[in-house]
Amino acid sequence: MIFEGLSDKLQSALGKLKSKGKLTEKDVKDAMREVKLALLEADVNFKVVKDFIKKVQERCVGQEVMESLTPAQHVIKIVNEELTSLMGDVQSKIMISSKPPTVIMMVGLQGAGKTTTSGKLGGYFKKQGKRPLLVACDVYRPAAIKQLQVVGEKLDIPVFNMGDKESPVNIAKAALSHAIKNNNDLVIIDTAGRLHIDETLMDELKSVKSEVKPHEILLVVDSMTGQDAVNVSESFNEALGIDGVVLTKLDGDTRGGAALSIRSVTKKPIKFIGMGEKLDDLEPFHPDRMASRILG
Protein backbone atom coordinates (compact mmCIF):
# COMPACT_ATOMS: atom_id res chain seq x y z
CA MET A 1 0.00 0.00 0.00
CA ILE A 2 1.18 3.51 -0.76
CA PHE A 3 1.77 6.10 2.03
CA GLU A 4 0.37 3.70 4.59
CA GLY A 5 0.50 5.98 7.64
CA LEU A 6 -1.09 8.90 5.85
CA SER A 7 -3.69 6.73 4.24
CA ASP A 8 -4.71 5.10 7.54
CA LYS A 9 -4.98 8.42 9.34
CA LEU A 10 -7.01 10.12 6.62
CA GLN A 11 -9.36 7.18 6.37
CA SER A 12 -9.81 7.14 10.13
CA ALA A 13 -10.49 10.90 10.33
CA LEU A 14 -13.01 10.80 7.50
CA GLY A 15 -14.45 7.48 8.64
CA LYS A 16 -15.59 9.06 11.89
CA LEU A 17 -17.79 11.44 9.91
CA LYS A 18 -19.51 8.54 8.20
CA SER A 19 -20.89 7.26 11.48
CA LYS A 20 -22.75 10.52 12.05
CA GLY A 21 -25.90 11.52 10.24
CA LYS A 22 -26.01 15.26 9.84
CA LEU A 23 -22.76 17.08 10.38
CA THR A 24 -22.15 20.22 12.38
CA GLU A 25 -19.45 22.75 11.59
CA LYS A 26 -17.62 21.46 14.64
CA ASP A 27 -17.63 17.90 13.25
CA VAL A 28 -16.02 19.15 10.06
CA LYS A 29 -13.50 21.26 11.97
CA ASP A 30 -12.51 18.33 14.18
CA ALA A 31 -12.06 16.09 11.17
CA MET A 32 -9.99 18.74 9.40
CA ARG A 33 -7.75 19.08 12.42
CA GLU A 34 -7.00 15.35 12.14
CA VAL A 35 -6.49 15.60 8.37
CA LYS A 36 -4.08 18.48 8.94
CA LEU A 37 -2.05 16.50 11.48
CA ALA A 38 -1.95 13.47 9.18
CA LEU A 39 -0.61 15.59 6.32
CA LEU A 40 2.00 17.27 8.51
CA GLU A 41 3.12 13.91 9.89
CA ALA A 42 3.48 12.70 6.31
CA ASP A 43 5.95 15.56 5.83
CA VAL A 44 3.80 17.61 3.47
CA ASN A 45 5.01 21.21 3.17
CA PHE A 46 3.51 23.36 5.94
CA LYS A 47 2.15 26.07 3.66
CA VAL A 48 0.67 23.52 1.29
CA VAL A 49 -1.16 21.91 4.22
CA LYS A 50 -2.46 25.23 5.47
CA ASP A 51 -3.88 26.24 2.09
CA PHE A 52 -5.31 22.79 1.51
CA ILE A 53 -7.16 22.68 4.83
CA LYS A 54 -8.51 26.19 4.31
CA LYS A 55 -9.91 25.30 0.90
CA VAL A 56 -11.44 22.00 2.01
CA GLN A 57 -12.97 23.54 5.11
CA GLU A 58 -14.54 26.40 3.18
CA ARG A 59 -16.10 24.02 0.70
CA CYS A 60 -17.27 21.57 3.38
CA VAL A 61 -19.24 23.99 5.52
CA GLY A 62 -21.18 25.18 2.49
CA GLN A 63 -24.93 24.67 2.49
CA GLU A 64 -24.86 22.03 -0.19
CA VAL A 65 -22.74 19.71 1.94
CA MET A 66 -24.22 20.39 5.35
CA GLU A 67 -27.79 19.97 4.18
CA SER A 68 -27.25 16.98 1.97
CA LEU A 69 -28.45 13.52 2.90
CA THR A 70 -24.93 12.10 2.88
CA PRO A 71 -22.71 14.91 4.13
CA ALA A 72 -19.77 12.64 5.00
CA GLN A 73 -19.63 11.35 1.41
CA HIS A 74 -19.55 14.96 0.24
CA VAL A 75 -16.65 15.77 2.55
CA ILE A 76 -14.70 12.73 1.32
CA LYS A 77 -15.37 13.75 -2.28
CA ILE A 78 -14.11 17.27 -1.59
CA VAL A 79 -10.94 15.97 0.10
CA ASN A 80 -10.40 13.68 -2.89
CA GLU A 81 -10.87 16.54 -5.37
CA GLU A 82 -8.55 18.88 -3.49
CA LEU A 83 -5.86 16.19 -3.12
CA THR A 84 -6.12 15.61 -6.86
CA SER A 85 -5.84 19.31 -7.54
CA LEU A 86 -2.81 19.54 -5.22
CA MET A 87 -1.03 17.00 -7.39
CA GLY A 88 -1.88 18.79 -10.65
CA ASP A 89 -5.41 17.55 -11.52
CA VAL A 90 -4.65 15.73 -14.75
CA GLN A 91 -1.89 13.49 -16.00
CA SER A 92 0.98 15.45 -17.49
CA LYS A 93 2.55 13.65 -20.42
CA ILE A 94 5.96 13.82 -22.05
CA MET A 95 5.97 16.18 -25.04
CA ILE A 96 6.77 14.15 -28.11
CA SER A 97 8.26 16.37 -30.80
CA SER A 98 6.62 16.39 -34.21
CA LYS A 99 10.14 16.58 -35.58
CA PRO A 100 12.07 13.54 -34.26
CA PRO A 101 14.15 12.86 -32.35
CA THR A 102 12.48 13.94 -29.13
CA VAL A 103 15.25 14.73 -26.67
CA ILE A 104 14.79 14.12 -22.95
CA MET A 105 17.47 15.27 -20.55
CA MET A 106 17.51 13.45 -17.21
CA VAL A 107 18.89 15.39 -14.25
CA GLY A 108 19.10 14.84 -10.52
CA LEU A 109 21.28 14.17 -7.51
CA GLN A 110 23.36 11.03 -7.18
CA GLY A 111 21.42 8.07 -5.90
CA ALA A 112 18.01 9.50 -6.77
CA GLY A 113 17.57 6.83 -9.44
CA LYS A 114 18.49 8.79 -12.56
CA THR A 115 20.29 6.03 -14.45
CA THR A 116 17.69 3.41 -13.57
CA THR A 117 14.88 5.78 -14.54
CA SER A 118 16.57 6.65 -17.86
CA GLY A 119 16.45 2.94 -18.68
CA LYS A 120 12.88 2.55 -17.41
CA LEU A 121 11.73 5.46 -19.58
CA GLY A 122 13.48 3.98 -22.60
CA GLY A 123 11.71 0.69 -21.96
CA TYR A 124 8.37 2.43 -21.48
CA PHE A 125 8.61 4.21 -24.83
CA LYS A 126 10.05 1.21 -26.62
CA LYS A 127 6.89 -0.68 -25.68
CA GLN A 128 4.96 2.15 -27.36
CA GLY A 129 6.85 1.61 -30.59
CA LYS A 130 9.56 4.24 -30.20
CA ARG A 131 13.23 3.62 -31.04
CA PRO A 132 15.08 5.09 -28.08
CA LEU A 133 18.78 5.81 -27.71
CA LEU A 134 20.27 6.06 -24.22
CA VAL A 135 23.18 8.47 -23.85
CA ALA A 136 25.84 8.14 -21.15
CA CYS A 137 26.84 11.67 -20.15
CA ASP A 138 27.82 10.95 -16.56
CA VAL A 139 31.56 10.99 -17.04
CA TYR A 140 32.50 11.49 -13.39
CA ARG A 141 31.12 8.42 -11.69
CA PRO A 142 33.24 5.59 -13.09
CA ALA A 143 30.52 2.97 -12.85
CA ALA A 144 27.78 5.11 -14.39
CA ILE A 145 28.57 4.38 -18.03
CA LYS A 146 28.81 0.66 -17.38
CA GLN A 147 25.55 0.79 -15.39
CA LEU A 148 23.71 2.41 -18.28
CA GLN A 149 25.17 -0.16 -20.69
CA VAL A 150 23.92 -3.00 -18.51
CA VAL A 151 20.46 -1.40 -18.37
CA GLY A 152 20.50 -0.95 -22.16
CA GLU A 153 21.46 -4.58 -22.71
CA LYS A 154 18.66 -5.80 -20.49
CA LEU A 155 16.13 -3.73 -22.42
CA ASP A 156 17.73 -4.27 -25.81
CA ILE A 157 18.10 -0.51 -26.25
CA PRO A 158 21.29 0.96 -27.77
CA VAL A 159 23.53 3.02 -25.49
CA PHE A 160 25.71 5.80 -26.89
CA ASN A 161 28.92 6.50 -25.00
CA MET A 162 32.31 8.07 -25.66
CA GLY A 163 33.98 6.93 -22.47
CA ASP A 164 34.85 9.42 -19.74
CA LYS A 165 37.40 11.57 -21.57
CA GLU A 166 35.00 13.75 -23.59
CA SER A 167 32.92 16.58 -22.14
CA PRO A 168 29.20 15.90 -21.57
CA VAL A 169 28.38 18.66 -24.08
CA ASN A 170 30.41 16.98 -26.81
CA ILE A 171 28.95 13.58 -26.00
CA ALA A 172 25.40 14.92 -26.10
CA LYS A 173 26.05 16.68 -29.41
CA ALA A 174 27.56 13.57 -30.99
CA ALA A 175 24.71 11.45 -29.64
CA LEU A 176 22.17 13.63 -31.43
CA SER A 177 23.92 13.18 -34.79
CA HIS A 178 24.17 9.46 -34.08
CA ALA A 179 20.43 9.27 -33.34
CA ILE A 180 19.52 11.08 -36.54
CA LYS A 181 21.75 8.79 -38.61
CA ASN A 182 20.42 5.66 -36.95
CA ASN A 183 16.79 6.62 -36.99
CA ASN A 184 16.37 6.81 -33.22
CA ASP A 185 13.29 8.95 -32.61
CA LEU A 186 13.87 9.36 -28.87
CA VAL A 187 17.11 10.38 -27.17
CA ILE A 188 17.38 10.01 -23.39
CA ILE A 189 20.42 11.71 -21.93
CA ASP A 190 21.65 10.45 -18.55
CA THR A 191 23.60 13.38 -17.09
CA ALA A 192 25.93 13.47 -14.12
CA GLY A 193 24.63 13.83 -10.60
CA ARG A 194 26.34 15.07 -7.46
CA LEU A 195 25.75 14.45 -3.80
CA HIS A 196 24.66 18.06 -3.41
CA ILE A 197 23.61 20.82 -5.73
CA ASP A 198 26.61 22.92 -6.70
CA GLU A 199 27.43 25.53 -9.27
CA THR A 200 29.74 23.33 -11.33
CA LEU A 201 26.97 20.76 -11.77
CA MET A 202 24.41 23.40 -12.74
CA ASP A 203 26.81 25.10 -15.17
CA GLU A 204 27.49 21.80 -16.88
CA LEU A 205 23.79 20.98 -17.13
CA LYS A 206 23.10 24.45 -18.52
CA SER A 207 25.75 23.91 -21.21
CA VAL A 208 24.23 20.58 -22.22
CA LYS A 209 20.80 22.18 -22.25
CA SER A 210 21.84 25.06 -24.50
CA GLU A 211 23.70 22.72 -26.86
CA VAL A 212 21.05 20.04 -27.40
CA LYS A 213 17.89 22.08 -26.63
CA PRO A 214 16.00 19.18 -25.04
CA HIS A 215 12.23 18.98 -25.46
CA GLU A 216 11.96 17.87 -21.85
CA ILE A 217 14.16 18.23 -18.81
CA LEU A 218 13.05 15.64 -16.29
CA LEU A 219 14.26 15.86 -12.72
CA VAL A 220 14.56 12.56 -10.86
CA VAL A 221 14.05 12.85 -7.10
CA ASP A 222 13.93 10.29 -4.33
CA SER A 223 10.60 10.34 -2.51
CA MET A 224 12.24 8.90 0.61
CA THR A 225 13.95 12.25 1.18
CA GLY A 226 10.63 14.05 1.80
CA GLN A 227 10.92 17.84 1.94
CA ASP A 228 14.51 17.63 0.72
CA ALA A 229 13.11 16.29 -2.55
CA VAL A 230 10.90 19.37 -2.72
CA ASN A 231 13.83 21.71 -2.04
CA VAL A 232 15.96 19.95 -4.65
CA SER A 233 13.13 20.34 -7.17
CA GLU A 234 12.89 24.05 -6.43
CA SER A 235 16.64 24.55 -6.83
CA PHE A 236 16.87 22.64 -10.11
CA ASN A 237 13.85 24.45 -11.45
CA GLU A 238 15.23 27.87 -10.57
CA ALA A 239 18.69 27.16 -11.97
CA LEU A 240 17.85 25.11 -15.02
CA GLY A 241 14.11 25.20 -15.62
CA ILE A 242 12.60 21.72 -15.51
CA ASP A 243 9.53 20.38 -17.31
CA GLY A 244 8.58 17.72 -14.85
CA VAL A 245 9.60 15.38 -12.09
CA VAL A 246 10.00 11.63 -11.81
CA LEU A 247 9.46 10.64 -8.20
CA THR A 248 11.27 7.41 -7.37
CA LYS A 249 11.10 4.77 -4.64
CA LEU A 250 7.39 5.12 -3.95
CA ASP A 251 7.40 1.37 -3.35
CA GLY A 252 9.45 1.94 -0.20
CA ASP A 253 8.42 3.13 3.20
CA THR A 254 7.85 6.69 2.05
CA ARG A 255 5.46 9.07 3.77
CA GLY A 256 3.95 11.07 0.94
CA GLY A 257 5.33 14.52 1.65
CA ALA A 258 7.18 14.84 -1.63
CA ALA A 259 4.34 13.54 -3.78
CA LEU A 260 1.85 15.94 -2.23
CA SER A 261 4.08 19.03 -2.11
CA ILE A 262 6.17 19.13 -5.28
CA ARG A 263 3.51 20.35 -7.66
CA SER A 264 2.21 23.07 -5.36
CA VAL A 265 5.64 24.35 -4.42
CA THR A 266 7.38 24.20 -7.81
CA LYS A 267 4.36 24.45 -10.15
CA LYS A 268 5.95 21.61 -12.11
CA PRO A 269 4.12 18.31 -12.55
CA ILE A 270 5.16 14.86 -11.45
CA LYS A 271 5.11 12.93 -14.73
CA PHE A 272 6.16 9.44 -13.66
CA ILE A 273 6.62 7.48 -10.46
CA GLY A 274 9.20 4.79 -9.75
CA MET A 275 7.63 1.80 -8.05
CA GLY A 276 10.60 -0.55 -7.65
CA GLU A 277 14.09 -1.52 -8.76
CA LYS A 278 13.01 -3.55 -11.78
CA LEU A 279 13.13 -1.89 -15.17
CA ASP A 280 9.40 -2.07 -15.73
CA ASP A 281 8.57 -0.55 -12.33
CA LEU A 282 7.65 2.84 -13.78
CA GLU A 283 4.14 4.27 -13.96
CA PRO A 284 2.75 7.45 -15.49
CA PHE A 285 1.53 9.65 -12.66
CA HIS A 286 -2.24 10.19 -12.45
CA PRO A 287 -3.18 12.69 -9.71
CA ASP A 288 -6.77 11.42 -9.48
CA ARG A 289 -5.73 7.79 -9.14
CA MET A 290 -3.14 8.70 -6.53
CA ALA A 291 -5.73 10.62 -4.50
CA SER A 292 -8.10 7.65 -4.63
CA ARG A 293 -5.29 5.28 -3.67
CA ILE A 294 -4.51 7.42 -0.63
CA LEU A 295 -8.15 7.70 0.46
CA GLY A 296 -8.75 3.97 -0.11
Feature table: binding site: 108-115, 190-194, 248-251
Residue 167: count other Cβ atoms within 10 Å of its Cβ.
15
The answer to whether 36 and 14 are in contact (CB under 8 A) is no
Nearer to ligand GDP, 132 or 193 (CB): 193
Number of residues that bind ligand GDP (CB under 6 A): 18
Q: Is 123 in the site for ligand GDP (CB under 6 A)?
A: no
Q: Is 23 in the site for ligand GDP (CB under 6 A)?
A: no
Write the single-letter amino acid at 34. Answer: E
Q: What b/e readout covers 14-37, taking b as 16+ CB neighbours within 10 angstroms?
A: beebeeeeebeeebbeebbeebbe
Site for ligand GDP in 180-239 (CB under 6 A): 193
Instruction: Give the residue nearest to ligand GDP (CB).
Output: 274
**Which range of residues in 27-35, 175-183, 204-212, 273-281 is near ligand GDP by CB under 6 A?**
273-281
**Which range of residues in 127-135, 231-239, 248-256, 260-268 is near ligand GDP by CB under 6 A?**
248-256
Residue ranges of the binding site for GTP: 108-115, 190-194, 248-251
Report the number of secondary-structure helices (H) and strands (E) in the chain: 12, 8
Q: Is 168 in the site for ligand GDP (CB under 6 A)?
A: no
Q: Is 108 in the site for ligand GDP (CB under 6 A)?
A: yes
H-run or E-run covering 208:
helix 199-212
Binding site for ligand GDP (CB under 6 A): 108, 110-116, 193, 248-249, 251-252, 274-277, 281
